[in-house]
């Protein structure tokens, strides 16, 4: 279960430790993505999936860089980066694997959008910029996966963002 960001009793900004906990949850999701993309890129079969398999290898390297960035920022905030990934789903069906990836990217995008707002509430503007850079790549991954599945890119905009 993901941590939620609490507001401190004397300030409107969330507590720093809460942000560290949430970033560690994001880090576990990045580890999950690295593992999934490495495995899926190698086991996905079929002529229809060869281009996306090569793209998944690129995604794996990008997700590793995201994990490094998050670990660096968690350390900057005074926390200890966690080392355990979230669970990785496996299937012998290429479409299932791409669906797992797309679902994970959708969740990741929602979380990073929220995390950016939380960083800004704490005055951590540079950290928010790091997350914006990661978010851009995550949205590129989402587009590639939706395209490979022959779908429109999912709208993961939350109600809070629409307000």
Give the domain ranges of the chain. Answer: 16-157
The residues that bridge with 7 in the sheet, in sequence order, are: 14
pLDDT tens-digit readout, 2-58? 455 554 444 445 589 999 999 999 999 999 999 999 999 999 998 889 899 999 999
Q: Per-residue confidence at 163, pLDDT binned at 50, 70, 90?
A: low
User: CATH second-level architecture of 16-157?
Assistant: Up-down Bundle (1.20)
User: How confident is residue 161, by pLDDT bands cut at 50, 70 and 90?
Assistant: low
pTM for the predicted model, two decimal places: 0.89
Q: What is the tens place of the pLDDT at every residue in 127-146? A: 999 999 999 999 999 999 99
For 16, the token pair is 């720093």
Tell me what pLDDT residue 12 has: 45
d(CA 37, CA 88): 10
pLDDT mean across residues, the chain: 91
Structure token pair of residue 78: 């005074």
Closest CA to 67 of 50, 84, 51, 52: 84
- Of residues 160 and 97, which shows the higher confidence score? 97
């Amino acid at each position: 279960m993901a941590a939620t960001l609490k507001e401190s009793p004397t300030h409107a900004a969330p507590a720093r430790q809460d942000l560290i906990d949430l970033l560690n949850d994001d880090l576990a999701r990045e580890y999950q993505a690295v593992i999934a993309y490495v495995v899926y890129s190698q086991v996905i079969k079929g002529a229809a999936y060869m281009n996306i398999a090569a793209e998944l290898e690129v995604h794996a390297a990008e997700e590793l860089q995201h994990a490094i960035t998050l670990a660096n920022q968690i350390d900057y905030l005074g926390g200890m980066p966690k080392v355990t990934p979230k669970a990785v789903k496996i299937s012998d069906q290429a479409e299932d694997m791409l669906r797992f990836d797309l679902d994970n990217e959708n969740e990741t995008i929602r979380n990073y959008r929220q995390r950016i707002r939380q960083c800004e509430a704490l005055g951590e503007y540079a950290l928010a910029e790091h997350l914006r850079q990661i978010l851009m790549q995550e949205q590129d991954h989402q587009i590639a996966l939706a395209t490979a599945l022959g779908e429109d890119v999912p709208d993961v905009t939350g109600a809070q963002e629409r307000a």
